[in-house]
Amino acid sequence: MKRVKHVKILTIVFLSIIGFNSLAYSQQALEQLNAQAPISQGVDKVVDQNTQKPLNSVSNSEEDKIKATMTPEEYKNYQGAKAYVEQNSKYTLGPEDVLNIVVMRHPEVSGEYTINKEGKIQYEFVGDVNIGGLTKEQAVEVLAKKLSTYIVKPEITFKISGYNSKTVFVIGEVGIPGKIFMRGDTITIRDALLAAGLPLLTASTDNASWFTPSDSGKVQRKKVNVDALLYKGDLRENYIMKPGDTLYLPATFWAKATRAISPILSPVGQAAGTSGAARAAVL
Domain boundaries of the chain, sorted by first residue: 98-162, 167-254
- Give yes or no for a contact between 212 and 242, defined as CB atoms under 8 angstroms apart: yes
The per-residue pLDDT for range 106-158, each reduced to its tens digit, is 998 899 999 999 999 998 778 899 999 999 999 999 999 999 988 999 999 99
- This prediction has a pTM of 0.63
Better-predicted residue by pLDDT, 107 or 263: 107
Q: What is the pLDDT of residue 101?
A: 95
Could you list the beta-strand ranges (E) of the chain: 98-103, 111-114, 120-123, 127-130, 156-162, 167-172, 178-181, 187-188, 208-212, 220-224, 240-241, 246-249
Q: Compute the mean pLDDT over every residue in the chain, rounded to the nearest whole number.
A: 78
Q: Report d(CA 219, CA 222) in Å as an integer.
A: 10
The per-residue pLDDT for range 14-64, each reduced to its tens digit, is 445 444 444 444 455 445 444 444 333 333 333 444 444 443 433 456 777
Cβ-based neighbours of 31, under 8 Å, separated by 6 or more: none
The per-residue pLDDT for range 199-250, each reduced to its tens digit, is 999 999 999 999 999 888 889 999 999 999 999 999 899 999 999 999 999 9
Q: What is the pLDDT of residue 18?
A: 44
Better-predicted residue by pLDDT, 257 or 2: 257
Q: What is the pLDDT of residue 35?
A: 46
Sign of CA pseudo-dihedral 11, 15, 17, 18: positive
CATH class held by domain 167-254 = alpha beta
Q: What is the pLDDT of residue 217?
A: 81
Q: What is the pLDDT of residue 272?
A: 53
Q: What is the pLDDT of residue 81?
A: 62
- For domain 98-162, the CATH superfamily is wza like domain (3.30.1950.10)
Domain 98-162 identical in fold to domain 167-254: no
